[in-house]
Amino acid sequence: DPMIAKVIAHAPTRAAALAALDRGLRDTVLLGVESNVGFLRDLIALPAVVAGDLDTGIIERMPPPAPRAPTEAALRVAAAAAPAPGATEPAFASPLWRAGS
Protein backbone atom coordinates (compact mmCIF):
# COMPACT_ATOMS: atom_id res chain seq x y z
CA ASP A 1 0.00 0.00 0.00
CA PRO A 2 2.36 2.75 -1.18
CA MET A 3 1.86 6.34 -0.14
CA ILE A 4 1.54 8.59 -3.18
CA ALA A 5 1.31 11.94 -1.41
CA LYS A 6 1.40 13.63 1.95
CA VAL A 7 -0.91 16.56 2.67
CA ILE A 8 0.19 18.85 5.50
CA ALA A 9 -1.62 21.93 6.77
CA HIS A 10 -0.36 24.58 9.17
CA ALA A 11 -2.41 27.38 10.71
CA PRO A 12 -2.56 29.41 13.93
CA THR A 13 -5.38 27.27 15.40
CA ARG A 14 -6.41 23.62 15.25
CA ALA A 15 -9.73 24.55 13.60
CA ALA A 16 -7.99 26.61 10.91
CA ALA A 17 -5.45 23.85 10.28
CA LEU A 18 -8.20 21.23 9.93
CA ALA A 19 -10.10 23.53 7.55
CA ALA A 20 -6.94 24.00 5.46
CA LEU A 21 -6.30 20.26 5.50
CA ASP A 22 -9.87 19.59 4.36
CA ARG A 23 -9.49 22.10 1.51
CA GLY A 24 -6.24 20.43 0.46
CA LEU A 25 -7.87 17.00 0.47
CA ARG A 26 -10.99 18.28 -1.30
CA ASP A 27 -8.88 19.81 -4.06
CA THR A 28 -6.72 16.69 -4.50
CA VAL A 29 -7.03 15.10 -7.94
CA LEU A 30 -5.78 11.56 -8.47
CA LEU A 31 -6.35 9.89 -11.81
CA GLY A 32 -6.18 6.17 -12.46
CA VAL A 33 -5.84 5.02 -8.85
CA GLU A 34 -8.11 4.41 -5.90
CA SER A 35 -7.40 6.64 -2.91
CA ASN A 36 -8.45 7.16 0.67
CA VAL A 37 -9.08 10.90 0.30
CA GLY A 38 -12.78 10.53 1.18
CA PHE A 39 -11.91 8.47 4.25
CA LEU A 40 -9.36 11.09 5.37
CA ARG A 41 -11.92 13.88 4.96
CA ASP A 42 -14.43 11.87 7.01
CA LEU A 43 -11.75 11.23 9.66
CA ILE A 44 -10.75 14.87 10.14
CA ALA A 45 -14.44 15.85 10.42
CA LEU A 46 -15.03 13.56 13.41
CA PRO A 47 -15.87 15.52 16.58
CA ALA A 48 -13.12 13.67 18.47
CA VAL A 49 -10.51 14.71 15.89
CA VAL A 50 -11.77 18.29 15.85
CA ALA A 51 -11.51 18.35 19.67
CA GLY A 52 -8.08 16.68 19.68
CA ASP A 53 -9.44 13.74 21.69
CA LEU A 54 -7.53 11.04 19.82
CA ASP A 55 -6.58 7.46 20.59
CA THR A 56 -5.64 4.36 18.62
CA GLY A 57 -9.24 3.08 18.48
CA ILE A 58 -10.74 6.10 16.73
CA ILE A 59 -10.86 4.49 13.28
CA GLU A 60 -12.65 1.38 14.56
CA ARG A 61 -15.31 3.61 16.13
CA MET A 62 -15.93 5.64 12.98
CA PRO A 63 -19.44 5.40 11.57
CA PRO A 64 -19.72 3.55 8.26
CA PRO A 65 -18.99 5.78 5.28
CA ALA A 66 -21.86 7.38 3.43
CA PRO A 67 -22.27 6.15 -0.13
CA ARG A 68 -20.46 8.37 -2.61
CA ALA A 69 -21.57 9.10 -6.15
CA PRO A 70 -19.39 7.44 -8.79
CA THR A 71 -16.88 9.66 -10.52
CA GLU A 72 -17.27 10.63 -14.17
CA ALA A 73 -14.27 8.43 -15.02
CA ALA A 74 -15.83 5.43 -13.26
CA LEU A 75 -19.07 5.94 -15.18
CA ARG A 76 -17.16 6.00 -18.49
CA VAL A 77 -15.34 2.78 -17.64
CA ALA A 78 -18.60 1.09 -16.66
CA ALA A 79 -20.25 2.20 -19.91
CA ALA A 80 -17.33 0.90 -21.98
CA ALA A 81 -17.40 -2.47 -20.18
CA ALA A 82 -21.18 -2.91 -20.38
CA PRO A 83 -22.49 -5.70 -22.63
CA ALA A 84 -23.39 -4.66 -26.15
CA PRO A 85 -27.15 -4.53 -26.79
CA GLY A 86 -28.45 -8.02 -27.55
CA ALA A 87 -25.21 -9.78 -26.57
CA THR A 88 -25.76 -13.20 -25.00
CA GLU A 89 -22.22 -14.64 -24.83
CA PRO A 90 -20.11 -12.86 -22.19
CA ALA A 91 -16.95 -13.20 -24.28
CA PHE A 92 -18.58 -11.19 -27.06
CA ALA A 93 -20.51 -8.79 -24.87
CA SER A 94 -18.19 -5.85 -25.47
CA PRO A 95 -17.33 -4.42 -28.89
CA LEU A 96 -13.88 -3.70 -27.43
CA TRP A 97 -12.92 -7.42 -27.34
CA ARG A 98 -12.29 -9.82 -30.23
CA ALA A 99 -11.28 -13.47 -30.26
CA GLY A 100 -7.54 -13.74 -30.83
CA SER A 101 -6.86 -10.22 -29.61
User: For residue range 28-57, what is the model confidence (pLDDT) as tens digits?
Assistant: 988 878 888 989 999 999 999 999 999 999
The Cα 93–Cα 83 span in angstroms is: 4
For residues 63 and 73, membership in a common domain is answered with no
22 and 63, same domain (yes or no): yes
Say whether pTM exceeds 0.85: no
Is 84 found in the same domain as 46? no
Burial of 41 by CB count in 10 Å (0-12 exposed, 13-18 middle, 19+ buried)?
middle
If one counts the domains in the chain, the total is 2
Q: Is residue 12 scored above 80 in pLDDT? A: yes
Residues 88 and 59 occupy one common structural domain:
no
Per the CB < 8 A criterion, the answer to whether 11 and 19 are in contact is yes
22 and 45 co-located in one domain:
yes
> Where in the sequence is the domain holding 94, given as residue range(s)?
69-101
